[in-house]
Amino acid sequence: MSDALNYTMTEHDSVKIFEVTGYLSANTCMEFVDFLKTVTDADNVIIDMKSISAVTFSGIESLVMVSQDARRKDKRVLLAALRPDIKEMFFFLSMYRFVIFVDTVEEGIVKMQYYV
């Protein structure tokens, strides 16, 4: 398994959308999380995780951390298109209540416009 994390950013209105690919672990996510913390100073974020190959406990912790940091700044981070096994990890670790899940990026855009 490749120990790499790559992402590309697009924007829709004032929502930044990050399509993330690769492996989300302690080795790969800290730079990404630090970058997201600066982005959420001004913008809401949707992380499209449909191309994530694996996530470790540290990766989940990092996503929770960036989500909570965004909330303190009155911004939101939504996790889109998670594989069922990765979503189950959030529930198993009792971390689901700290993040917002959406099935698709499009659903996330609508939620950002009307609900969060």
Summarised one tens digit per residue, pLDDT across range 74-90 is 999 999 999 999 999 99
Calpha distance 79→45 (Å, rounded): 9
Residue 114 tokens read as: 């009307």
* Measured CA distances, 53 to 58, 84, 87 (Å): 15, 12, 13
Per-residue model confidence (pLDDT) at position 70: 95
- Three-point CA angle 60, 65, 70, nearest 5°: 130
Residue, of 107 and 1, whose pLDDT is higher: 107
Domain 5-114 fold: Transcription Regulator spoIIAA (3.30.750)
Q: Tens of pLDDT along 22-77?
A: 999 888 888 888 889 999 999 999 999 999 988 999 999 999 999 999 999 999 99
Neighbours of 61 (CB within 10 A): 16
Residue 116 — pLDDT band, cuts 50, 70, 90? low
User: Distance between CA 2 and CA 54 in Å, rounded?
Assistant: 10
- What is the band of 2 on the pLDDT scale with cuts at 50, 70, 90? low
